[in-house]
Structure 1
Amino acid sequence: MGRRTRVLSEGGKFVAVGAVATVVALVLFNLLVHGVGGDGPMNGQPLLAFALANLIGMAVSYRGARHWAFRRREPVGPANGRVGFLVVNVVSLLIPMACLAVSRYLLELDGALADNVAANVVGLGLGVLFRFWATRRYVFRRPRGRVLTRA
């Protein structure tokens, strides 16, 4: 399989896994901050709620990335790549959290739409690009000197 085909295959699987993890995190975040028909239990703590929801989404993401998107790659580092994956995801989590903080605290926008556009559209888009690059580069590397089989 050529490099371009491999990148596209891994990228497509990475996006699919990320979509599932994002739905999990999105639902949890909105329940924690905006509740059902009113303020959620963490309405005054959107950054903490975002971090908690995304930590759960991160667990979903690791399983899918390790066992599907990057299954032909060798994990790097301790705990079968989990430590590196955690570091990459925590760093990439700061991107949407920064977008959410700007929206909430600088622009003083605190509605559900503003929160979701800032964190889950703008921030998530930037974070996904960083996460794909860093995960391929630092967490799941292509085996050197071995021919990869088709996914």
Structure 2
Amino acid sequence: MTRSAAQKHTRQAGAFLAIGGLAFLVDAAVFNLLAFWVTGHGPFYDQPVVAKTIAIVVASLVTYVGNRYWTFNDRHLPHRWSRYALFVVFNLVAIGLQLGCLAFSRYVLHLEGPIPDNIAGTLIGQTLATLFRYLTYDRFVFPHEEPAAGQDEGAPVTSAP
């Protein structure tokens, strides 16, 4: 890997982690509001998997927009419905990773409350999901595609995501 390629990869990984950090905060905030509210028992306290699903969907919107327009903004990405389909499929797998960690903690280990739910679903689950997303987004959702003949490669990407 050349120095410029390494710098590009480092910038890209840093941007991905920054977007992931923002999504982490969104996920944690929405989940905690739904599950624990201010009083300790939110509207979805007895349904933490539902609360986490809602939180992940909101955070996933943040990750798509952030990664498309910042992390992978240098990629020529023609408008394709398959890209959206792949994004959805990979996010469903990532959601499964997060929900699996939360469900295992809550229903197998019988750990309940803000601390175990956040460690299992938000910290461990989202870490696994973020790693999975980075690997799949880079290769399948936002792959670099050569511009069509006649299009300036240095021109900013203006095509729809």
Unaligned 5+ segments in structure 1 are none
| Count of aligned positions | 149
Unaligned 5+ segments in structure 2 are 156-161
Once the two structures are superposed, the pairs formed by residues 14-93 of structure 1 within 5 Å of their partners are 14-75=16-77, 78-79=80-81, 81-93=83-95
Aligned mate of 2:108, from 106, 109, 122:
106
Q: CA deviation at 1:129?
A: 0.9
Which residue of 2 is the match for residue 120 of structure 1?
122
2:94 & 2:154 partners in 1: Cα distance?
28
Cα RMSD between the aligned structures?
Answer: 2.2
| Cα-to-partner distance string for 1:54-99 (whole Å, 9 max, x where unaligned) | 1011111111111111011234773483332222122111111111
Q: State the SS of the aligned residue for 1:43.
A: coil
1:10 & 1:58 partners in 2: Cα distance?
18
Which residue of 1 is the match for residue 158 of structure 2?
none
2:137 & 2:56 partners in 1: Cα distance?
17
Which residue of 2 is the match for residue 7 of structure 1?
9
> Sequence identity, in percent?
33
Q: 1:25 to 1:2 in 2, by over 3 A?
A: same
Please say if residues 76 and 139 of structure 1, whose CA atoms lie closer than 8 Å, have aligned partners that are also in contact.
Answer: no
| Cα-to-partner distance string for 1:79-136 (whole Å, 9 max, x where unaligned) | 4833322221221111111111110001000110000000111111111111100000
| Cα-to-partner distance string for 1:9-48 (whole Å, 9 max, x where unaligned) | 1111011111112211110100111111220001111111
Please say if residues 77 and 84 of structure 1, whose CA atoms lie closer than 8 Å, have aligned partners that are also in contact.
Answer: no
Q: Which has the larger radius of gyration?
A: 2
4+ residue stretches of structure 1 with deviation over 6 A? 145-149
Length-normalised TM-score, structure 1: 0.88
Q: State the SS of the aligned residue for 1:141.
A: coil
Query: Which amino acid in structure 2 is aligned with residue 72 of structure 1?
Result: D
Q: 1:93 to 1:75 in 2, by over 3 A?
A: farther
